[in-house]
Amino acid sequence: MSSSRAGLALLPLRRALHTTPAARSHIGSAPVPVPPNVQLSFPALSIDPNTPRGLEAAQRLITITGPLGSHVLPIEPQVIIQPAAEKGGPVSVAVHDPTQKSHKSLWGLTRSLLHNAITGVSAGYKVELRLVGVGYRAAVEPIPKVFRDIQASIPRAVRPSKPGAPPYVLPELPTDRLNLKLGYAHPVLIDIPKVIKVEVPQPTRIVLSGTDKQKLGLFAAKIRRWRKPEPYRGKGIFVGDETIKLKEIKKK
C-alpha cells in the first residue's frame, strides 16, 4: 500500500483539460437598447481584426445623435457591430475571437462606451456634490472680461489625433467659473467647461449635468480633490449620498 502511494507521488501532475467553450463577456454580450429619439450612423460593421489602426480602413466611427447632443465613438478593428434588423431595435456588440484576451477586453469596453453615449444624448448624466464644513460655500459667477481676453490671446495648439480616433476639436473657452470657499485663505476658482452645466441650488450643494459621463466624472473629481472627506471631523466634499466612517481622535 505504501509503495503504491509512493509511486503515485512520483507521477507528474497534469493540468486538467476543459472542453467547455470560453466564457462570454456578460457585459459585452448584453444588447444595447436604442431609444426612438436617438439616431446612429454605422461605419463598416466588420473588418479584418489585424488591420493596422493607422490605415484609413480602420477609421470606423459611430455617430450617436440625440435631443441633448451628439457623440462620436471610435470602434476598434477587433469589434463587430450588429445593428437590429428592424429600426429602433437594440444594437449588439461582438468580437472576432472571444478566446483572445485583447479581443475580449475590448468587448465589454465598447459595449459600455456605446451605452454611455446613447444614455448621455438621450437622458444625460447628473452628479451631485455636497460641501460639509463650517463656512464652506459655492457659487457660480461669470469670468471677468480681462481674464477671458487673456485666455483668448494665448495661442492654443491642436493636439494630433490618435490613430482610429475622431479628429480633435478645440473646446470653447469657458465664460463661467465656480467660486468655492473651502476654509483656505483664498477662494478656489475653477473654470466650468462649456460641455458641463453647473447649478448651485443651495450654497452647500452643487449639481453637475452633461452628456459625457467621463468628462462629468473628471470635472467632479477636479472639484473634490480640493477638499477630500477627512475621517476625523467629517468635513470635505462628498459625492451624492457618500458617507465615511469617522475615527476617534486620540487624546493626549
Return the domain boundaries, the chain: 23-123, 126-156+163-239
User: Which residues, at least 6 apart from 120, have a Cβ–Cβ distance to it below 8 Å?
Assistant: 66, 68, 69, 71, 210, 211, 212, 213
Superfamily name with CATH number, domain 23-123: Ribosomal protein L6 (3.90.930.12)
Report the distance separating Cα 126 and Cα 208, nearest Å.
6
Domain 23-123 and domain 126-156+163-239 have a common topology: yes
Q: How far apart are CA 168 and CA 220, in angstroms?
A: 23
Window from 2-16, 128-142, 180-194 with minimum mean pLDDT: 2-16
When pLDDT is averaged across residues 162-183 and rounded to a whole number, the result is 88
If phi > 0 it is left, if psi is from -120 to 50 it is alpha, else beta; for residue 183 that is left
pLDDT band at residue 54 using 50, 70 and 90 as cut-offs: confident
Share of the chain above pLDDT 70, in %: 90
DSSP assignments along 22-39, one per residue: PPPPTTTTS-B---TT-E
Strands 176-181, 69-75: pairing kind: unpaired
The terminus-to-terminus CA distance of the chain in angstroms comes to 68
For residue 58, the tally of other CB atoms under 10 A from its CB is 18
Q: Tell me the pLDDT band of 25, cut-offs 50, 70 and 90.
A: low
Give the distance between the most distant pair of CA atoms in the chain. 93
* DSSP symbol at 248: P
- Please state the rounded mean pLDDT for residues 208-235: 94
For residue 177, how many other CB atoms are within 10 A of its CB?
19
Q: Inform me whether the pLDDT recorded for 69 exceeds 60.
A: yes
CATH number corresponding to 126-156+163-239? 3.90.930.12
Q: CA quadruple 196, 199, 203, 204: dihedral positive or negative?
A: negative
Mean pLDDT, range 119-125, rounded to an integer: 95
C-alpha cell at position 15: 493540468
101-122 vs 213-224: helix axis angle to the nearest 10? 90
